Amino acid sequence: MFRSFLITTILLSSFFCTSQENYNSKNLIVSKADLKGTIYKKDTTANAFYIYEKGYSRIENSGNYGLLTDYSGKIKILNQEGFDSSIFEILLYNNKSKKEVFRDLVAYTYNLEDDKIVKTKLEEDKIYTEKYNEHYTLVKFTFPNIKPGSVLTYSYQTESPFTFNFNGWDFQDDIPKLHSEYVADLPGNYVYNIRLVGTQPLDTEDNSIKKGCFDIGYGRVADCAHSRYVMKNIPAFKKEKFMTAKKNYFSRIEYELKEFKGFDGINKKYTETWENVDKELRTEKTIGQQLKKIKATKNVLPVSLANMPLNLEKAKAIFRYITNNYSWNEEYKIFNDVDIKQILKSKTGNVTEVNTLLHNVYKQQGFTVLPVLLSTRENGYATKIHPILSDFNYLIVQLEIDQKKYLLDATEKTLPFGEIPFRCLNQYGRLLDFKNGSSWIDIKPKKRSSYYYREKLILTEDLSIQGNGKYTYIGYHAYNNRKFLDRVGEEKYVQKMMDIDENLSIVNAELQNANELDKPFIEEVEFTKIPEKIDDIIYIKPFTRIFFQENPFKLNERTYPVDFGYKDTLTYITYIEVPDNYQFVDIPKSKNYALPGKSGKLGLDFKLQDNTLIISHTVILLSSYYPVDYYSALKEFFNLIVDMETNTLIAIKKTS
């Protein structure tokens, strides 16, 4: 009897789970199974997901050549945390003469009430349009009557006059997708570079010729390249720390217009060689022409600085003079609104103006210097296959002295000479040498960044701890602290130090080398704190400061690499001294761990000398970039770091 009941239970349970996954992923029709479903079995952490999604892009409208795209989707809301997936924002681009158009939105919310499907329509007056900035309009709408279990359907069309920018398709999103499909009809006279980005494979790719699909007017038609792409069971793209731009990794189809073959016989090429691009940039008004305005900087430097010998010392002095006297307005404009005369007048400018000024001053003084185009970490990787200038959003300079090369960025006055901001550490950049031809160069820090913490904790007879610490920061850690200090001032900086631990009282704090950028940044602190006592055992946490309060790596699986930006070393040495009538109890054993390929080391060592216990904790990351297959090892590596830093306790007992 029991066995029969058990089998029945298993069968019913199996049927129940299957029914939860019996979603209609073929079209927008909402079934009861769609509404009754309560989980997404492939990702039980999902709060919402796409059951179905489709896009169709083509160029029509006879001689107007409008790029039309039809969008449709069906989303399942699993719980209240998934309500954000009912909010849509769509950006429409415009220039001075043309604009993209949004039309024909039809949107419904479906719920199951008394076992009946009830739908609520999104009314037209709930669709809002507002100006986003100079070039974009924002269309916003939110689905009505949302509940856990709701299913949302929507469809709309966009029309764009910018046919060179043929719509791509994002298969991967912040929520999972059961089925995502994209169809494109490309007229034969439009030649595109097409690429699939990301790690997710296509389930279907069909390519064929569609006869007479493109109306060119006057009774004439042209053929199209017809493509259909389908991807199924797509995981959500989940952001995590130590990554560059999302666009580097999430799965999508991208189109870039390579050539337009006019029906009048005139062809226009959009994808060029770097040789051609170099020729264009040489005369282009916002970069090429501004780089030639050397004479405009003739009187920028003080006479004493201008008369220095042409050497590294002078190069450093020029860099410091520019960073101290000219400011960055935090605008990244690189190919527009660039005028070297403007920054000379106002003393402030965008990134291209600031660094073009630096370039021109060096050039005027006789140094060998070249500009470098790059894409910042948040902007994504620049394409190396062929020139796409819109991939770049930043400009720095390369200075060469005594056969040594230095990358420089004058936008940050707390940066040492030869270092560039963290935002620029995006693998590579394009060195613009108009005489010998441009080339790719690596963008990597030359020096390792590091923390070096050294503390001495003395247990007194009244069972308090007298402590002093010296905290040394090198590289990007020093830069970050100096930048914060420059923003808030010394008083607030010290106050933040005092707020680190509520059980710790800072008696005195001092900062060293705050303005000496080539030296380490140092904090020296004297403090007191009270240890924990249970029965007759005293417990001391040996690390007053913690490098990692929690593991930054939490995903079950990460489909993109870990990019720290720079190599790092973290060292923490603590001396715990006890009175003669006390002793250490059960000193922990030393621990050591290494990442695969000897790419990182982790250690926690204990050494007793008389009445002093020396604790050494080290974390060494020998690479700044770890491929996907290192993720599980890195996750475990940081679990161990967090455990060592938060759970290590030193037990002390009185002997007499």
pLDDT single digits (tens) 583-636? 999 899 999 999 999 999 999 999 999 999 999 999 999 999 999 999 999 999
Beta strands in 63-127 (DSSP E): 66-77, 87-93, 101-113, 116-121
Nearest-angstrom CA–CA distance, 442 and 444: 6
At which residue do the structure tokens 């106002």 appear?
346
**Residue pair 189/110 in contact by the 8 Å Cβ criterion:** no
H/E segment holding residue 274 = helix 274-283
Dump pLDDT digits (tens) for 289-338: 999 999 999 999 999 999 999 999 999 999 999 999 999 999 987 887 88
Which residue, among 389, 376, 383, has the nearest Cα to 245 in the 3D structure? 376
Predicted pLDDT at 606: 97
Task: Domain 274-443: state its class.
Answer: alpha beta
Query: Is-same-fold flag (22-267; 274-443)?
Result: no
Residues with Cβ < 8 Å from 300, sequence gap 6 or more?
A: 344, 357, 361, 364
Which residue, among 465, 457, 428, has the nearest Cα to 444 in the 3D structure? 428
The one-letter amino acid at 272: E
CATH 3.90.280.10 corresponds to the domain 22-267: no
H/E segment holding residue 286 = none
**Residue pair 525/496 in contact by the 8 Å Cβ criterion:** no
Nearest-angstrom CA–CA distance, 304 and 307: 5
**Maximum distance among all alpha carbons in the chain?**
107
Predicted pLDDT at 363: 96
Residues with Cβ < 8 Å from 505, sequence gap 6 or more?
A: 527, 528, 529
Which residue, among 272, 280, 273, 282, has the nearest Cα to 434 in the 3D structure? 282
Residues with Cβ < 8 Å from 516, sequence gap 6 or more?
A: none
Query: In the chain, where are the structural domains located?
Result: 22-267, 274-443, 449-654
Predicted pLDDT at 418: 94
Which residue, among 377, 416, 424, has the nearest Cα to 396 in the 3D structure? 424
Nearest-angstrom CA–CA distance, 600 and 596: 8
* Buried residues in 94-119 as b, exposed as e (16+ CB within 10 A): beeeebbebeebebbbbbbeeeeeee
Spans of the chain, pLDDT less than 50: 1-20
At which residue do the structure tokens 């979603």 appear?
23
In total, the chain counts a number of residues equal to 656
pTM of the full structure: 0.86
Q: Is 473 helix (H, G, I), strand (E, B) or coil?
A: strand
**Residue pair 455/468 in contact by the 8 Å Cβ criterion:** yes
Which residue, among 393, 285, 411, 416, has the nearest Cα to 357 in the 3D structure? 411
Predicted pLDDT at 20: 46
